[in-house]
Amino acid sequence: MSVLTADGAAARQQQVNGGPERIAQLPRADFPPEAQAICEQVFAALGIDTPDSLAPYFAILIKHPGLFQRQMEAGITFFRGAIPMAERELAILRVAWRAGAPYEWSEHVAIAKGCGWSEADVERVIAGPEAEGWSDHQRAILRAVDELHGDTMISDATWATLSASWNEAQLLELPALVGQYLMVAMIQNSIRLPLGNDPRGLAAR
């Protein structure tokens, strides 16, 4: 799809969320033993108690236990990853906006604001890498996301800018991060995942 505009966000959200969920959530009582074991392993790795229920996305994804486990493991990897949290969320927000993903966008707007990004920063993510106010490094992160979407490759110029601030582990992590959250957006959009904590979806700022 072409780059989403703010004016087109409502139509995109209707496209994604205008119909019923395509796959129902699995009640916790119906989890097979292997799925329950995966949940316990994942939440133990995160250092939290296993909750009584999962977020809607995970209560659907658990119907494919192997995919659920791999996605949760990837999430933990990026949560503890080489890229600083604020920069990670900058990249994820641009992925979510480019993908027109209402659930992913609204959830990560909240996370990004918890990392110090402002409402004005979120608006600039929508405007993209050419918006005023970004540092050269921040602009390169956003441009890298766009290049990966459009050409499945980071350009030499963008790579050089990122290399001035990041080490090799961080450079390796960025394409993987973009690919992971694009995959998540594809799944969430395709199953018409209902909006989560912020019902505004793509209107969240």
pLDDT digit string, tens, across residues 145-161: 999 999 999 999 999 99
**What would the two tokens of residue 133 be?**
């106010």
Tell me the pTM.
0.93
Question: 117 and 74 in one domain?
Answer: no
Question: 174 and 107 in one domain?
Answer: yes
The rounded mean pLDDT for the chain is 93
Q: What is the pLDDT of residue 46?
A: 64
Task: Report yes or no on 131 lying in a domain.
Answer: yes
Q: What is the pLDDT of residue 41?
A: 75
Query: What is the domain count for the chain?
Result: 2
**For the chain, where are the alpha helices, taking DSSP H only?**
9-17, 33-46, 56-61, 65-79, 85-99, 102-114, 119-127, 136-151, 156-163, 168-190
Neighbours of 44 (CB within 10 A): 11
Q: What is the pLDDT of residue 53?
A: 57
Neighbours of 146 (CB within 10 A): 20
Q: Go through the chain and tell me how many residues it has.
A: 205
Considering 59, 79, 99, which residue would you say is the last residue of a domain? Answer: 79
**What would the two tokens of residue 170 be?**
């961080």
Task: Report yes or no on 58 lying in a domain.
Answer: yes
Question: 115 and 15 in one domain?
Answer: no
Q: What is the pLDDT of residue 49?
A: 63
CA distance 35 to 135: 44
Q: What is the pLDDT of residue 44?
A: 76
Q: What is the pLDDT of residue 35?
A: 78
Question: 199 and 114 in one domain?
Answer: yes
Q: What is the pLDDT of residue 28?
A: 82
Residue 76 sits at the vertex; the CA angle it makes with 72 and 79, to the nearest 5 degrees, is: 135
With a cut of 50, which residues of the chain have pLDDT below it?
none
Domain holding 143, by residue range, is 85-203
Q: Is the Cα dihedral 47, 191, 144, 110 positive or negative?
A: negative
